[in-house]
Amino acid sequence: MKTVLNKPTLLLIPVPIAIVSVGCETLGDNLIAISWIGVAASEPPQIAIGVRRNNRFSYKHLIENGEFGVNIPIEDIVSAAASTGRLHGDKVDKWVEAGFTRMKAVEISVPLVAECPINMECVVRHRLELGSHDLFIGEVVASHAEDSILKDGVIDIDNIAPLVYLPSTGKYFGLKRPEVFSH
Ligand SMILES: Cc1cc2nc3c(=O)[nH]c(=O)nc-3n(C[C@H](O)[C@H](O)[C@H](O)COP(=O)(O)O)c2cc1C
């Protein structure tokens, strides 16, 4: 027996969590936690992110400068990662609040988060207006991975502690241990 919920609801569980770095000339740079994110295509490699049009300072950066960094957080920095999804960049400097360090990208003007062991540099190729959110599809133009998590050139799951998120609960889970953070 199953229940049909009283309205159509997003029931994807769990979802990934990324810290997306953005930046543009007029507003400087900023960080935003993004869970509406996924692989959009393999060749050329493309990633889609859904960003709410109102109440997201980062949306303005993405419109002005179609470049973004996808930075993958791990268990050790879950609380700092969560802060980028709670605070607004027009009120506070999230780099300082989270204790994150800027790392220079090689192909884009937006900085990457040094503390994240995986970073991808993206250039927006398409934007779709989808009601509450815009979907930005970015081509991955450069990828970085910490040497310690690589084995024969690919990511070794034994050497990384990835995170997932359960949107309806505000809880973060590690894939190696059960729940690691909740806000
Ligand atoms: C785990 C997590 C995931 C989130 N995912 C998204 C998302 O995919 N799209 C979005 O627009 N906001 C998302 N948010 C909300 C923004 O990160 C949040 O509103 C942030 O404070 C916006 O920052 P800004 O105003 O500096 O851009 C998420 C928040 C959290 C905690």
Residue 90: CATH number of its domain: 2.30.110.10
Residue 9 located in a structural domain:
no
Residue of minimum CA distance from atom 31 in ligand 1? 85
Q: What's the chain's average pLDDT?
A: 96
Write down the pLDDT at residue 178: 67
Q: What is the mean pLDDT of residues 98-127?
A: 98
What's the pTM?
0.97
Residue 81 located in a structural domain:
yes
Q: Is the CB of 21 under 6 A from ligand 1?
A: no
Write down the pLDDT at residue 167: 94
Q: Where are the beta strands (DSSP E) in the chain?
A: 15-16, 18-24, 28-34, 37-41, 46-52, 67-72, 102-103, 112-113, 118-130, 133-145, 150-151, 154-155, 163-166, 171-174, 179-182
Question: Residue 42 is part of which domain span?
Answer: 16-182
Residue 37 located in a structural domain:
yes
**Confidence category of residue 87, pLDDT binned at 50, 70, 90:** very high
Number of domains present in the structure of the chain: 1
CA of 73 to the centre of ligand 1 (A): 14
Percent of the chain with pLDDT over 70: 99
